[in-house]
Amino acid sequence: KNFTAFSNSTSPSILLTTDVAARGLDIPQVDLVIQIDPPSDPKVFLHRCGRAGRAGRKGLSVIFLQPGREEDYISFLEVRKTPVSPLDLIPQTPISDVDAAEAAKAIRAKVLTDRAIHDKAQRAFVSWLKAYSKHQASSIFRVADLDWADLAQAWGLLKLPKMPELKNWEGDPLLGLNIKFKEYEYKDKKREEGRKEQLFSLQHQNDATKGDTGNGEKAGDGSKSRETRKIGVKRAWSQKLDEKDERERRKEKKRTKREAEQWAKMTPAEQKKQLELERMIEVVKTRSIEDDKLGEFHGFDDR
């Protein structure tokens, strides 16, 4: 729908897209392509640029690079016979730190209107980081060189997600914003009710586990836990396979819990897409088994 509206537009328009539109689509009268991040595959860089200036028209493609090591991407492209040059803007449009801070403030004000936007921003940031970490030019695009505070401001995040990449970071993951996340609500009433119920349940569980047995032991750390440790020692000595099975069982339990939490955060539309994706995966698995016997998988039916 958005693609059709953009393609048929008779007035200046902007289309936000992923690399899905980098090739194979003939969009007429595109004058400018802005690449927010360098593609992980340098070949895609040319495909992205090729969306502008088609059919003999002039076009411009701009790529954003962070100051410092990322500027080596210019030489990286030159080696691959794809020279680029700094963009000279006329007139000049300087952006100050104050301007950047005001932009981040405006984004965060929008995010604060609905917790669902915050959830999407957290997932998007993690997804972006995974893509960044897998860049083919790994000597240029290094996660260790990223400025987390600046990135959080550029993304308009309310806090940084919990990620292993932040393990040794000494900054403030809450970004000094002092947001009361327990009171931060979803605009959708049903989702907000579910969040409050989950919050109440977790609080109830925490209260139940607090206290002291009178022997300096916390509730739940008595004879049962000691017996469990004894059994664990025996398994470590004589039943290592059972111990491995137990670890796998715990991993599966954690995975199931994580998936349930992610599902609860999804909107009905996102849940519908997820179900459709899972259905397609099952179809692929089934047909893959058939292909081992009958031949090549020829794609999905036109339904």
Cβ-in-10-Å burial (0-12, 13-18, 19+) of 143 comes to middle
**Alpha-carbon dihedral sign for residues 48, 50, 54, 56:** positive
Task: Give the chain's mean pLDDT.
Answer: 80
For the entire predicted model, the pTM comes to: 0.63
Q: Which regions of 10-76 does DSSP assign to beta strands (E)? A: 32-35, 60-63
Cβ neighbours around 184 below 10 Å, total: 15
Residue 275 has pLDDT above 70, yes or no: yes
pLDDT greater than 50 at residue 8: yes
The answer, yes or no, to whether residue 9 has pLDDT greater than 70, is yes
How many C-beta neighbours within 10 Å does residue 247 have? 10
Band of pLDDT at residue 285, cut at 50, 70 and 90: low
Q: Which residue has the higher pLDDT, 256 or 176?
A: 176
To the nearest 10 degrees (0 to 180), the angle between helices 148-155 and 97-111 is: 60
Pairwise CA distance, residues 279 & 95, whole Å: 47
**To 10 degrees, the CA torsion angle through 285, 291, 297, 301?**
-70
* Strongest mean pLDDT among 28-32, 38-42, 43-47, 189-193: 189-193
Q: Distances in Å between the alpha carbon of 89 and those of 4, 86, 94?
A: 31, 9, 10
Cβ count near 33 (within 10 Å): 20
Helix/strand/coil for 224: helix
Query: Among 228, 203, 198, 223, which Cα is nearest to 213's?
Result: 223
**Backbone Cα Rg of the chain:** 26
Residue 243 CA to chain centroid, in angstroms?
34
| Predicted pLDDT at 290 | 60
The set of residues, in sequence order, having a beta carbon less than 8 Å from that of 26 and lying 6+ positions away, is 54
What three-state secondary structure class fits 32? strand
In the block, which residue shows the tokens 């993304």? 155
Angle between helices 148-155 and 115-133 (to 10 degrees): 130
Gap between the Cα atoms of 110 and 92, Å rounded? 29
Going from the C-alpha of 31 to that of each of 20, 59, 60, 65, 157, the distances in angstroms are 19, 5, 6, 21, 31
| Farthest CA pair distance, the chain | 84
Summarised one tens digit per residue, pLDDT across range 48-101 is 888 887 777 788 899 999 888 899 999 888 888 888 888 877 667 778 889 989
DSSP secondary structure of 125-180: HHHHHHHHHT-S-TTTS-GGG--HHHHHHHHT-SS----GGGTT--S-TTTT----
Residue 94, preceding bond cis, omega within 30 degrees? no
The answer to whether 17 touches 39, Cβ cutoff 8 Å, is: no
Residue 224 pLDDT: 47
Pick from 102-116, 141-155, 188-202, 205-219: least confident? 205-219
